[in-house]
């Protein structure tokens, strides 16, 4: 058992939570959940950054005192995380008494350890209130005759010889470079470490760490001989939160929690605030004679249709609760909507890279990976097991053979890979590894054909083993997805009868032999497919139609025999795997096929292809099936779909897919 301490940035209270904030918090929550499942001592901190000029200005604009504003907005962050089911986090506010005391102590510690590191001088230069940061002209952009912040695209303020305390940051470029060299994982991913290394190599300027032109902050705990009252620079104040939450109530820096957790601190941040965390913060700590956190991991930016999510860009603002609610289409409601949102955010973009949020890819992943791959595996397996008189049972002899051994091997490597990838802070790769197992298990159903085993009494041991494998793989998948999909993971494990005390435990390869219990008879489809109507409804909820946009051109279909996309989308085309094929007596053109569409049982399809294909040659082939064609009777059989083939009277070829695609995958 080890210790894990994860933090998010503390968010500014001049804004309300949006998808960008939710992303960082969900990433941290995923990691914290993973470590708890591993049995690690885990602590998770988030909170709000409540001081500074930006908050003071926002309060003035609204006719509130800064304290009133922060008291209104800070709880909205806390409530948002509660509503989104963020698990066992601590919430720190920089206006809390303890935090203020710790910040003052940090200042005094720097004074004690390196008295010359804090000195009074006058500051002149540009300041971006949005970033709460000082900039040189080379870091700004010029718009007309105004210098603007490259991030906020707004004019920066000129601070004219403001008397200020300075921190001797220049002294720390070399020690920081040496530290990063010795601790290559201190800044991750690598591209950000390289960025900071070259920044440090260019040398550092001393940093102004107090302000006198406004008062909304923590007072500098020593007098200015000129009698001016200074408040501590908001970043020095804010960064200290990571430590102050661990400190005892008297605000001294030390004690049990600092000793236990601080050496393990992992700061998850957006790339926008990399320099504050990887240069200023460690330099303050070095100056105070304190150990540095274990590491800083910066993730990329989410944009919406190419635009950065921001307060000033209403079209890009996505309310995470609204999105989770819009995705709450399953019987379990909001928790599943939350899981779907978490899945998309963590699967779509490898942690560290930028990502663009589009509804097309959200719906695509929802349908293909959640509804289809995972949903089908669970629904078909539990339906088969639920209906059968045969109970799942592990058989060590059968386990060694063919498809059974192959599935067990993939399950074991999925556990190993997912563990490694979560440890490497690569949840998207962990999910990829888990989905390999999901797809393999779907293939296993096709390969072992439990419906055929059920017809043969001599195969009941094998059938019991197949059921056992399916149930235990569902339990393992349930465990492996839990950090990202907490509600789904728990439901899966409960449905296959995992004992309560094992629900929150990280899977092990031994689970393949032991984990199943009583299997639920009526699983609910967790992720019903989002058809066009459902997709449109979600889209319209999240992006209210723009009434100022020109009306769409009349459909071209009126003039020609073209069809619209909506017409096409009515077709439910699926990949099917032919499970069996046989001639039909007296019908020399027809074949009777059973085709696996990833559903609980394969479909019977009658196809007029007998003259082009001997029945045997079709078994195992993947074909494209019109899955929503109304069933019709052919040659006395009910045909439940149609297979696409080239040619009219004379069949020339069958539609096929060019690689191994799981049965049931939608074709578009």
Question: Which tokens in the block code for residue 26?
Answer: 């969900």
Q: Report, in Å, the least distance between residue 170 CB and ligand ME8.
A: 22
Angle formed at CA 55 by CA 49 and CA 56, multiple of 5 degrees: 135
Q: How far apart are CA 178 and CA 201, in angstroms?
A: 11
Beta carbons of 210 and 231 less than 8 angstroms apart:
yes
Q: How far apart are CA 394 and CA 381, in angstroms?
A: 16
Q: How far apart are CA 360 and CA 365, in angstroms?
A: 9
* Tokens 């200042």 sit on residue: 107
Q: How far apart are CA 91 and CA 44, in angstroms?
A: 9
Q: How far apart are CA 511 and CA 502, in angstroms?
A: 10
Q: Report, in Å, the least distance between residue 167 CB and ligand ME8.
A: 16
Among the listed residues 534, 482, 520, 484, the one whose alpha carbon sits nearest the alpha carbon of residue 503? 482
End-to-end CA distance of the chain: 48
Beta carbons of 407 and 438 less than 8 angstroms apart:
no
Where are the extended beta strands (E) located within 474-631? 573-584, 587-596, 603-607, 622-626
> Which helix or strand (DSSP H or E) is residue 143 part of?
strand 141-143
SS3 category, 93:
strand
CA 542 to chain centre: 19
Q: Which is nearer to ligand ME8, 344 or 435 (CB)?
A: 344
Beta carbons of 526 and 504 less than 8 angstroms apart:
no
Q: Report, in Å, the least distance between residue 216 CB and ligand ME8.
A: 14
Q: How far apart are CA 274 and CA 194, in angstroms?
A: 12
Q: How far apart are CA 415 and CA 508, in angstroms?
A: 7
Beta carbons of 246 and 205 less than 8 angstroms apart:
no
**What helix, strand, coil percent values describe the chain, rounded to 5?**
45, 20, 35
Q: Report, in Å, the least distance between residue 3 CB and ligand ME8.
A: 21
Q: Which is nearer to ligand ME8, 11 or 613 (CB)?
A: 11
Question: Which tokens in the block code for residue 92?
Answer: 């720190």
Q: Which is nearer to ligand ME8, 168 or 308 (CB)?
A: 308
Q: How far apart are CA 541 and CA 535, in angstroms?
A: 10
Angle formed at CA 573 by CA 568 and CA 326, multiple of 5 degrees: 75
Q: Which is nearer to ligand ME8, 151 or 406 (CB)?
A: 151
Q: How far apart are CA 644 and CA 607, in angstroms?
A: 9
Q: Report, in Å, the least distance between residue 239 CB and ligand ME8.
A: 5
SS3 category, 329:
coil
Q: How far apart are CA 128 and CA 517, in angstroms?
A: 60
Q: Which is nearer to ligand ME8, 239 or 408 (CB)?
A: 239
Q: Compute the radius of gyration of the chain from its Cα atoms.
A: 30
Residue 209 DSSP label: -
Q: How far apart are CA 369 and CA 363, in angstroms?
A: 10
Give the sheet arrangement for strand 307-308, strand by strand: 307-308, 302-304, 355-357
Q: Would you please indicate which residues are annotated as catalytic (active-site) residues?
A: 18, 21, 128, 131, 149, 152, 308, 311
Applying CB under 6 A, the residues found at the interface with ligand ME8 are: 9-12, 15, 20-21, 23-24, 49, 238-239, 269-270, 272-273, 301-302, 308-309
Q: Report, in Å, the least distance between residue 27 CB and ligand ME8.
A: 9
Q: What separation in angstroms does the CA of 235 have from each of 197, 267, 390?
A: 21, 15, 64
Q: How far apart are CA 370 and CA 380, in angstroms?
A: 14
Q: Please, which residues bridge with residue 295 across strands?
A: 266
Q: How far apart are CA 639 and CA 635, in angstroms?
A: 9
């Amino acid at each position: 058992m080890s210790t894990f301490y994860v933090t998010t940035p503390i968010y500014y209270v001049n804004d309300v939570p949006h998808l960008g904030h939710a992303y960082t918090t969900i990433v941290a929550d995923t990691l914290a959940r993973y470590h708890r499942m591993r049995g690690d001592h885990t602590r998770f901190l988030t909170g709000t950054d409540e001081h500074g000029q930006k908050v003071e200005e926002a309060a003035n604009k609204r006719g509130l005192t800064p304290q009133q504003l922060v008291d209104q907005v800070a709880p909205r962050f806390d409530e948002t995380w509660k509503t989104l089911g963020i698990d066992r986090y601590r919430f720190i506010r920089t206006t809390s008494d303890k935090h203020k005391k710790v910040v003052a102590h940090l200042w005094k510690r720097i004074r004690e350890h390196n008295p010359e590191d804090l000195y009074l001088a006058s500051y002149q230069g540009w300041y971006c209130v949005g970033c709460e940061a000082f900039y040189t002209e080379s870091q700004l952009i010029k718009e007309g005759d105004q210098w603007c912040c490259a991030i906020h695209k707004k004019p920066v303020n000129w601070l004219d010889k403001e008397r200020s305390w300075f921190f001797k940051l220049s002294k720390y470029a070399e020690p920081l470079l040496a530290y990063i060299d010795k601790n290559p994982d201190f800044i991750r991913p690598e591209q950000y470490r390289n960025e900071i290394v070259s920044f440090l190599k260019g040398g550092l300027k001393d940093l102004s760490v107090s302000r006198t032109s406004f008062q909304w902050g923590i007072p500098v705990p020593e007098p200015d001989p000129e009698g001016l009252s200074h408040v501590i620079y908001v970043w020095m104040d804010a960064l200290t939160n990571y430590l102050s939450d661990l400190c005892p109530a008297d605000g001294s820096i030390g004690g049990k929690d600092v000793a236990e957790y601080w050496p393990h601190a992992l700061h998850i941040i957006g790339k926008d605030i990399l320099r504050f965390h990887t240069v200023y913060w460690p330099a303050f700590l070095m100056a105070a004679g304190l150990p540095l956190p274990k590491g800083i991991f910066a993730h990329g930016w989410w944009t919406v249709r190419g635009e950065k999510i921001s307060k000033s860009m209403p079209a890009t603002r996505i309310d995470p609760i609204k999105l989770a609610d819009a995705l709450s289409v399953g019987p379990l409601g909001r928790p599943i909507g939350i899981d779907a949102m978490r899945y998309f955010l963590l699967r779509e973009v490898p942690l560290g890279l930028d990502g663009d949020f589009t509804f097309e890819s959200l719906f695509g992943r929802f349908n293909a990976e959640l509804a289809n791959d995972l949903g089908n595996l669970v629904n078909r397996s539990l339906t088969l097991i639920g209906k059968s008189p045969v109970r799942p049972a592990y058989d060590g002899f059968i386990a060694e053979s063919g498809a059974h051994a192959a599935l067990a091997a993939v399950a074991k490597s999925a556990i190993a890979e997912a563990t490694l990838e979560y440890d490497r802070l690569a949840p998207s790769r962990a999910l990829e590894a888990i989905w390999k197992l999901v797809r393999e298990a779907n293939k296993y159903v096709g390969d072992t054909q439990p419906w055929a085993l059920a017809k043969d009494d001599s195969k009941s041991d094998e059938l019991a083993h197949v059921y056992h494998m399916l149930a235990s793989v569902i339990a393992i998948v349930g465990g492996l997805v839990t950090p990202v999909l907490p509600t789904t993971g728990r439901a899966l494990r409960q449905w296959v009868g995992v004992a309560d005390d094992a629900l929150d435990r990280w899977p092990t390869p031994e689970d393949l032999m032991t984990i199943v219990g009583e299997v639920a008879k009526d699983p609910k489809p967790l992720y019903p497919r989002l058809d066009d109507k459902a997709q449109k409804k979600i889209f319209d909820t999240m992006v209210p139609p723009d009434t100022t946009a020109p009306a769409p051109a009349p459909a071209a279909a009126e003039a020609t025999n073209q069809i619209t996309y909506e017409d096409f989308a009515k077709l439910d085309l699926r990949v099917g795997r032919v499970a069996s094929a046989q001639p039909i007596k007296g019908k020399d053109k027809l074949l009777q096929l059973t085709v696996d569409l990833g559903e609980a049982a394969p479909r019977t399809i009658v196809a007029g292809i007998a003259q082009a294909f001997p029945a045997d040659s079709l078994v195992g082939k993947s074909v494209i099936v019109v899955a929503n064609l109304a069933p019709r009777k052919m040659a006395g059989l009910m045909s439940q779909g149609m297979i696409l083939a080239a040619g009219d009277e004379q069949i020339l070829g069958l539609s096929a897919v060019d690689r191994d695609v799981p049965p049931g995958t939608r074709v578009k």
